[in-house]
C-alpha cells in the first residue's frame, strides 16, 4: 500500500496498491502494472482521492526541456513531469511571451494538456502545437496534433474513453515571436502601456495570490467546479432575478455563469463542515483544513450541488476528478 496524502494537493488520507514513477517510455516495459485498475497521475492538483484506490498509479516524471526557434516562433518541448509554473517562470524570465497569463497554476506540464488549463483569458490549447503520448497497454508512441487533442473548456481527448490509455509524455508549445499582451481580464487592464511578459506574469501572480489559496499552505485543488454554460434564455431569466450576477457571453455556445458567484449566493462562501470547507476569499475553491476525509468532501460537494440546483436550476459539473476504490466516481 502506498500513501497518497502527499500525492494530491487536497491531501485527503488515501492509498493505492502500487505507485510507479516512470522517467522514460522504455521503462514502461518493465512495470508490473495492474492493467485493469490503474490511474495516471500528474502533479495531483486536479484530483481528489476520496478513499483507498484498489489499483496502481503511474506517474511520468520526465523533466527534459528544450527551447528552439524558427523565424516566427519559439518552440518549447517539455517532459510531462516539468512543473508547469517552473516552465512559465523560465520562459517568461527569458523575455519570451505567451505563457505569462498562466502563471502559478499548480500541476505538471502533462496535466496542463489533459486539463487544458486556462486563466486570465488564455487557454493551453491556444499555445499547444502537439502532445506526445504512449499507449500504456500497447506501448505505441503517438504524436497528437492540436486538433487531435480535441481541446475544450477544461477538457481534452485524454479525459475521454478514447484517450484513457494514453499517457502524456511530452508537450510541444509554439509561441509566436510577435507578442501582444492579453489584458482583457479584470485586474490586468491596469497594465496597458509598456506591458512586458514579465510585468504581466507578476500581475497575474499578484492577483492569484490575493484570492486563491496556496496548496502548499492550505490544501486545495483550485476551482472545484467548472463554470456552467447555459442557454441565453436561462441566463436571461436568472439575470432578471439577479441583475448583479456575472455572465460571460460565449460565441454560439450560450452564456457562461460564474460558479463562485452561484456558490457564494447559495450561502457556502467560507462554510466549513469538519475539516472541509470553501475558501473564505473564493467560494469555488474547496479546502481541506487538515484532517478532512473523502466522505465529508463527497457530502459537502453533493450539498453544494443540491443547493445551487434548487436555487438557480443550474447543475454544477466537477472540475476536480474524484477517485474512489474502483476509479473515477461520478457525483
Ligand atoms: N465570484 C464571486 N464569489 C466568489 C468567487 C467569485 O462572486 O466567491 C465572482 C467574481 O467576483 C467574479 C466571478 O465570480 O465576478 C469570476 O471569478 P474569478 O475571476 O475568480 O474567476 P472564476 O471564474 O471563479 C476561472 C477559472 C480559474 C481561473 C480564473 C481566472 C474555472 C473553473 N476557473 O475562475 O481557474 O484562475 O477564472 O481566469 O474556469 C482552476 O481551474 O483551478 C482555476 C483556478
**CATH T-level assignment (fold) for domain 213-328:** 3.90.78
> For 227-259, what is each residue's pLDDT tens digit?
999 999 999 999 999 999 999 987 777 999 999
**Residues whose beta carbon lies within 6 Å of some atom of ligand 1:** 119-120, 212, 222-223, 226-227, 246, 258, 260-261, 264, 269, 282-284, 319
Q: What is the predicted pLDDT for the residue at 125?
A: 98
Q: What is the predicted pLDDT for the residue at 251?
A: 73
- DSSP states along 55-72: SEEEEE----EEEEE-SS
CA distance 155 to 148: 13
> For 126-163, what is each residue's pLDDT tens digit?
999 999 999 998 999 999 999 999 999 999 999 998 99
CA distance 33 to 56: 7
When the candidates are 3.30.465.10, 3.20.19.10, 3.90.45.10, 3.40.50.720, the CATH number that belongs to 65-207 is 3.30.465.10
What residues form DSSP beta bridges with 118? Answer: 123
Q: What is the predicted pLDDT for the residue at 288?
A: 98
Nearest atom, ligand 1, residue 115 CA: 41
Of 77, 154, 156, 259, which one is the catalytic site residue? 154
CATH code of the domain made up of 2-60: 3.30.43.10
User: Is 240 part of the annotated catalytic residue set?
Assistant: no
**Sign (positive/negative) of CA torsion 317, 318, 321, 322?**
negative
Between the CA of 260 and the centroid of ligand 1 the distance, in Å, is: 6
Cell 457562461 belongs to residue = 256
Q: What is the predicted pLDDT for the residue at 127?
A: 98
Q: Please list, residue by residue across 262-294, b when 16 or more beta carbons sit within 10 angstroms of its beta carbon and e when fewer do.
A: bbbbbebbebeebbbbbbeebbbbbbbeeebbb
CA distance 228 to 226: 6
Residue 172 near residue 178, CB atoms below 8 Å: no
Between the CA of 212 and the centroid of ligand 1 the distance, in Å, is: 9
> For 179-205, what is each residue's pLDDT tens digit?
999 999 888 988 887 899 999 999 999
Q: What nine digits make up the cell of 100?
A: 505569462
CA distance 311 to 53: 34
Residue 42 near residue 107, CB atoms below 8 Å: yes
Q: What is the predicted pLDDT for the residue at 210?
A: 95
What residues form DSSP beta bridges with 219? Answer: 288
pTM: 0.96
Percentage with pLDDT > 70 across the chain:
100
Nearest atom, ligand 1, residue 208 CA: 36
Cell 499552505 belongs to residue = 217
Between the CA of 283 and the centroid of ligand 1 the distance, in Å, is: 9
- Testing ligand 1's pocket by substitution, the residue of 223, 259, 271, 279 carrying the most ligand atoms inside 8 A of its CB is 223
User: Is 208 part of the annotated catalytic residue set?
Assistant: no
Q: What is the rounded average pLDDT for all residues in the chain?
A: 96
Q: Please list, residue by residue across 64-73, b when 16 or more beta carbons sit within 10 angstroms of its beta carbon and e when fewer do.
A: eeebeeeeeb
Give residue limits of the domains in the chain.
2-60, 65-207, 213-328
> For 30-61, what is each residue's pLDDT tens digit?
888 888 899 999 999 999 999 999 999 999 99
Amino acid at each position: 500500500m502506498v500513501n497518497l496524502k502527499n500525492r494530491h494537493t487536497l491531501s485527503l488520507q488515501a492509498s493505492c496498491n502500487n505507485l510507479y514513477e516512470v522517467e522514460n517510455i522504455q521503462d514502461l516495459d518493465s512495470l508490473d502494472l495492474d492493467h485493469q485498475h490503474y490511474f495516471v497521475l500528474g502533479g495531483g492538483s486536479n484530483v481528489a482521492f476520496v478513499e483507498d484506490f484498489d489499483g496502481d498509479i503511474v506517474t511520468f516524471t520526465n523533466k527534459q526541456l528544450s527551447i528552439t526557434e524558427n523565424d516566427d516562433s519559439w518552440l518549447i518541448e517539455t517532459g510531462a513531469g516539468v512543473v508547469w509554473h517552473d516552465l512559465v517562470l523560465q520562459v517568461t524570465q527569458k523575455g519570451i511571451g505567451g505563457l505569462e497569463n498562466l502563471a502559478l497554476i499548480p500541476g505538471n506540464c502533462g496535466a496542463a494538456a489533459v486539463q487544458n488549463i486556462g486563466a486570465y483569458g488564455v487557454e493551453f490549447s491556444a499555445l499547444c502545437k502537439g502532445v506526445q503520448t504512449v499507449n500504456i497497454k500497447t506501448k505505441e508512441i503517438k504524436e497528437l496534433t492540436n486538433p487531435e487533442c480535441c481541446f475544450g473548456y477544461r477538457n481534452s481527448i485524454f479525459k475521454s474513453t478514447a484517450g484513457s490509455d494514453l499517457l502524456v509524455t511530452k508537450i510541444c508549445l509554439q509561441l509566436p515571436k510577435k507578442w501582444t499582451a492579453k489584458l482583457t481580464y479584470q485586474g490586468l487592464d491596469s497594465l496597458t502601456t509598456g506591458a512586458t511578459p514579465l510585468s504581466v506574469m507578476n500581475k497575474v501572480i499578484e492577483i492569484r495570490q490575493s484570492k486563491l489559496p496556496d496548496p502548499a499552505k492550505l490544501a486545495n485543488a483550485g476551482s472545484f467546479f467548472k463554470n456552467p454554460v447555459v442557454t441565453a434564455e436561462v441566463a436571461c431569466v436568472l439575470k432578471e432575478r439577479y441583475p448583479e450576477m456575472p455572465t460571460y457571453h460565449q460565441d454560439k455556445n450560450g452564456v457562461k455563469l460564474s460558479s463562485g458567484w452561484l456558490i457564494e449566493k447559495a450561502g457556502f462562501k467560507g462554510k466549513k463542515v469538519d475539516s472541509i470547507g470553501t475558501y473564505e476569499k473564493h467560494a469555488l475553491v474547496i479546502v481541506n483544513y487538515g484532517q478532512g476525509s473523502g466522505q465529508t468532501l463527497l457530502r459537502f460537494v453533493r450539498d453544494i450541488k443540491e443547493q445551487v440546483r434548487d436555487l438557480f436550476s443550474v447543475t454544477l459539473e466537477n472540475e476536480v476528478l474524484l477517485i474512489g476504490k474502483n476509479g473515477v466516481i461520478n457525483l
